[in-house]
Amino acid sequence: LESELMAKIDAAADETALEELRVHALGKKGVISERMKSLGKMSPEERQEAGPLLNGLKERVGTAITARRDILAHSALEARLKAETVDVTLPVDPQPRGKIHPVSQVFAEIEAIFADMGFSVRYGPDIEDDFHNFTALNFPPGHPAREMHDTFFFEEKEDGSRMVLRTHTSPVQVRTMTSEKPPIRIIAPGRTFRCDSDQTHTPMFHQVEGLVIDKETHMGHLKGTLEAFVKRFFEIDDLSTRFRPHFFPFTEPSAEMDVAYERVDGAIKFGQGDKWMEILGCGMVHPNVLKNCGLDPDEYQGFAFGMGVDRLAMLKYGIPDLRDFFSGDTRWLEHYGF
* Binding-site residue set for Mg(2+): 252
248 sits near ligand PHE (criterion: CB under 6 A): yes
Q: Which residues of 172-207 are buried (b: 16+ CB within 10 A; e: fewer)?
A: bbbbbbeeeebebbbbbbbebbbeeeeeebbeebbb
Smallest gap from Cβ 291 to ligand PHE, in A, equals 17
**Cβ neighbours around 237 below 10 Å, total:** 8
The single-letter code of the amino acid at 51 is G
* Local structure of 136: helix, strand or coil: helix
Residue 281 interacting with ligand PHE (CB under 6 A): yes
Distance of closest approach, residue 282 Cβ to ligand PHE, in angstroms = 5
Would you count residue 251 as binding ligand PHE (CB under 6 A)? yes
Residue 253, preceding bond cis, omega within 30 degrees?
Answer: yes
* C-beta of 248 vs 336, nearer to ligand PHE: 248
Q: From the CB of 267, what's the least distance to ligand PHE, in Å?
A: 27
300 near ligand PHE (CB under 6 A): no
220: number of Cβ within 10 Å = 9
d(CA 62, CA 56): 10
**Does residue 305 bind ligand PHE (CB under 6 A)?**
yes
Q: Are strands 184-193 and 120-121 parallel, antiparallel or unpaired?
A: parallel
Residue list for the binding site:
252
Q: Contact between 286 and ligand PHE (CB under 6 A)? A: no
Output the smallest distance, CB 95 to ligand PHE, in A.
41
Nearer to ligand PHE among residue 226 and residue 260 (C-beta): 226
Binding of ligand PHE by 306 (CB under 6 A): yes
**Longest alpha-carbon distance in the chain:** 132
Shortest distance in whole angstroms from residue 185 CB to ligand PHE: 15
Q: Which of 304, 312, 322, 333 binds ligand PHE (CB under 6 A)?
A: 304
| Closer residue to ligand PHE (CB): 5 or 165 | 165
* Min dist. Cβ of residue 209 to ligand PHE (A): 6
Binding mask 55-84 for ligand PHE (x = CB under 6 A): ------------------------------
Question: What CA–CA distance (Å, rounded) separates 58 from 26?
Answer: 7
Q: Which of 213, 282, 290, 314 binds ligand PHE (CB under 6 A)?
A: 282
SS (H, E, C) 189-252: EEEEECCCCECCECCEEEEEEEEEEECCCCHHHHHHHHHHHHHHHHCCCCCCEEEEEEEECCEE
> Please, which residue, 170 or 301, has the CB nearer to ligand PHE?
170
Q: Is the distance from CB of 138 to CB of 148 less than 8 angstroms?
A: no
Q: Using CB under 6 A, list all residues that contact ligand PHE.
A: 168, 170, 209, 248, 251, 281-283, 304-306
